[in-house]
């Protein structure tokens, strides 16, 4: 009658063996979350106004440069989401409008104030998009940085409902200060031609300019030279010849004095721009500016194509970190730390111990109840629930899911779901036996009729788990992950495994046997 019984038993053995193999040894195969392994947890706010301000400054400079090429001199005053242009003469007004329409009309609406003055306001949809892009770029940049830090299984994701927050979890990270510095370092690299300097103070620097900073230039502070770290001031062009966006790679190296430095390589577009600028400015200084501070200002001796070097008073660790943040890209906006938590590895080990203990106690209590109430059929329930947990562990290990403390709570819930399914099956078997059916008929009828009920309840729970994972934060997602895989494995064990065990027992009895310990 049970001609497929051997294949069913073989399938159970194979599935169980593959599951055990996938998480053995557990110390290396099971990925632990922050709450179990220890590490640091940050919640950061992205200052999206910085991204808007940078966008506005860039647009105003592009417009001013385009006007200057046509010999139209104006003054631009950028704010966060708008900038004002003044000094447009009546004879240049028509040409000004034409250039403005070409350069900034896509993102800004123009308003005339009269007297040669115009206000350019960023369009509302561009504001929303720029804020969202700033958060997305910050997430991607931070993720690249922590991945290069060597942190195992970091979590970097948008957080909360405000739309400008990010959660960062670094399991196993112990150097919190370095992690914060790497994450929040804006790493804005700019290469600009030096117009004057270095000078010991700003007044001396601007003597040739009547003490005023020209509209297309700015004063940046830095070091006098690579060998002289004293404070110095440089007058540089506002528009950068090359920025960090043009970088292809950055790596630690040493300079001509055998001091730590950072060597960088530009992408194809950056190489073209760098080549043109260096060719046109031979024997002039090029300021290498990092986060608005001049790190060095070497003289351009010849045309340079795709490679450069940043030197200064760096330590070996500093050049390692600087190379890392330059490779990962500059943050689009500054970050503010809203929350910081540290979880020690000892606390994580205690959590694992407590979770395992709770799961074992739960399994033991359930098994005892099932043995008392359903007698020998309780052994069937124990085997199916145990295999359920084994297959669940195999699922999580094979698919790379992270085990968290709420996930352990999901394990305990999985035990409860397994009991619930077995109770439905056992009670149905009792009803069929009470109707004077044989043991074989009772088993077949019970599993056939209960199957739809089990699938229905599990599909409903899977939908709930999917919503928890989609809209929940880290801990909720950990619980939802375990719940999802637990539901899948429970359908297999409560229906297929449990039925096969009953059939195996009945296969050892005479065909007309009616006695079944349930």
CA distance 324 to 138: 15
Buried-exposed string 394-418: b where 16+ CB fall within 10 A, e elsewhere: bbbbeeebbbbbbbbbbbbbbbebb
Residue 481 contacts by C-beta under 8 Å, 6 or more apart in sequence?
396, 401, 402, 407, 410, 469
CA distance 491 to 391: 11
Fold of 39-47+130-183: Alpha-Beta Plaits (3.30.70)
Q: What is the DSSP string of 165-202?
A: EEEEEEET---HHHHHHHHH----EEEEEEEEEEESSH
Give which of 244, 260, 264, 257 is closest to 305, Cα–Cα. 264
Q: What are phi and psi of 242, to 5 degrees?
A: -140, 145
**Which residue is associated with the tokens 């949809």?**
125
CA distance 68 to 96: 10
CA distance 18 to 10: 12
For CA atoms 485, 391, 357, 424, give the dihedral sign: positive
CA distance 372 to 508: 24
Q: What is the 3-state secondary structure (H, E, C) of 286-312?
A: EEEEECCEEEECCECCCCCCCEEEEEC
Contact 478, 402 (CB under 8 A): yes
CA distance 439 to 445: 10
For CA atoms 5, 8, 14, 16, give the dihedral sign: negative
CA distance 237 to 223: 18
CA distance 430 to 443: 10
Contact 306, 271 (CB under 8 A): yes
Assign domain 5-37+344-507 to its CATH superfamily. Answer: Multidrug efflux transporter AcrB transmembrane domain (1.20.1640.10)
Q: What is the CATH code for 186-330?
A: 3.30.1360.200
Distances (CA, A) of 108 to 105, 120, 123: 5, 6, 5
Peptide bond into 64 cis (omega under 30): no
Q: Are strands 31-32 and 402-403 parallel, antiparallel or unpaired?
A: parallel
Instruction: Answer whether CATH 3.30.1240 is correct for domain 49-125.
Output: yes
pTM, rounded to two decimals: 0.57
Q: What ranges do the domains of the chain cover?
A: 5-37+344-507, 39-47+130-183, 49-125, 186-330
* pLDDT one digit per residue (tens) for the chain, 518 residues: 456 888 888 888 898 889 888 888 877 777 777 667 777 888 999 989 988 988 888 788 778 878 887 888 888 888 889 999 888 888 888 888 888 888 888 889 988 888 889 999 999 998 998 898 888 878 878 887 777 666 666 778 888 888 889 988 887 776 778 778 778 776 677 888 888 878 888 888 888 888 888 877 888 888 766 556 678 889 888 878 777 777 777 778 887 778 888 787 877 777 888 888 888 888 888 887 877 788 777 777 777 777 777 666 677 877 777 676 666 666 777 888 888 877 665 556 777 778 778 878 888 888 888 888 887 778 888 888 889 888 988 888 887 777 777 877 888 888 888 888 888 888 888 888 888 777 788 888 888 888 888 888 889 888 988 888 887 766 677 788 888 888 889 888 888 888 888 888 877 766 555 455 56
């Amino acid at each position: 009658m049970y001609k497929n019984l051997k294949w069913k038993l073989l399938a159970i053995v194979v599935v169980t063996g593959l599951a055990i193999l996938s998480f053995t040894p557990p110390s290396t195969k099971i990925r632990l979350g922050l709450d179990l392994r220890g590490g640091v947890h940050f919640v950061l706010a992205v200052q999206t106004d910085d991204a808007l301000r940078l966008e506005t400054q860039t647009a105003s400079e592009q417009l001013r440069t385009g006007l200057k090429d046509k010999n139209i001199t104006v003054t631009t005053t950028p704010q966060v989401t708008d900038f004002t242009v003044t000094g447009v003469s009546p004879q240049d007004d028509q040409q000004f409008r034409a250039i403005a329409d070409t350069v900034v009309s896509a993102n800004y609406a123009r308003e005339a104030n009269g007297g040669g003055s115009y206000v350019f306001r960023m369009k509302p949809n561009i504001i929303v998009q720029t804020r969202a892009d700033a958060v997305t770029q910050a997430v991607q940049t931070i993720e690249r940085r922590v991945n290069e830090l060597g942190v195992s299984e970091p979590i970097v994701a948008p957080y909360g409902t405000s739309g400008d927050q990010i959660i960062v979890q670094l399991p196993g990270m112990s150097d919190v200060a370095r992690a914060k510095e790497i994450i929040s370092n804006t790493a804005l690299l700019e290469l600009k031609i030096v117009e004057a300097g270095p000078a010991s103070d700003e007044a001396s620097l601007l003597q040739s300019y009547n003490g005023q900073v020209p509209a297309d230039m700015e004063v940046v502070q830095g070091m006098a030279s690579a060998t002289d770290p004293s404070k110095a001031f440089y007058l540089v062009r506002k528009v950068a010849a090359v920025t960090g966006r043009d970088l292809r790679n950055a790596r630690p190296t040493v300079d001509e004095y055998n001091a730590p430095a950072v060597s960088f390589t530009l992408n194809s577009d950056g190489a073209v721009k760098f080549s043109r600028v260096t060719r046109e400015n031979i024997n002039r200084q090029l300021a290498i500016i990092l986060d608005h501070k001049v790190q060095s200002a070497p003289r351009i001796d010849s045309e340079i194509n795709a490679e450069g070097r940043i030197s200064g008073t760096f330590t070996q660790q500093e050049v390692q970190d600087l190379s890392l943040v330059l490779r990962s890209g500059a943050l689009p906006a500054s970050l503010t730390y809203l929350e910081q938590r540290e979880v020690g590895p000892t606390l994580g080990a205690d959590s694992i111990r407590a979770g395992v203990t709770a799961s074992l106690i739960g399994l033991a209590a359930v098994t005892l109840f099932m043995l008392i109430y359903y007698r020998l059929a309780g052994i069937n329930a124990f085997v199916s629930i145990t295999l359920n947990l084994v297959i669940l562990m195999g699922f999580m290990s094979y698919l790379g899911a992270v085990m968290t403390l709420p996930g352990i709570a999901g394990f305990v819930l999985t035990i409860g779901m397994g009991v619930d399914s077995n109770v439905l099956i056992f009670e149905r078997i009792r009803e069929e036996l009470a109707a004077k059916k044989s043991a074989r008929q009772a088993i077949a009828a019970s599993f056939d009729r209960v199957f739809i009920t089990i699938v229905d309840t599990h599909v409903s729970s899977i939908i709930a788990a999917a919503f928890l994972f989609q809209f929940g934060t880290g801990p909720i997602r950990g619980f939802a992950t375990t719940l999802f895989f637990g539901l899948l494995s429970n359908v297999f064990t409560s229906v297929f495994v449990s039925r096969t065990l009953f059939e195996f027992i009945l296969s050892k009895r005479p065909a007309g046997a009616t006695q079944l310990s349930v």
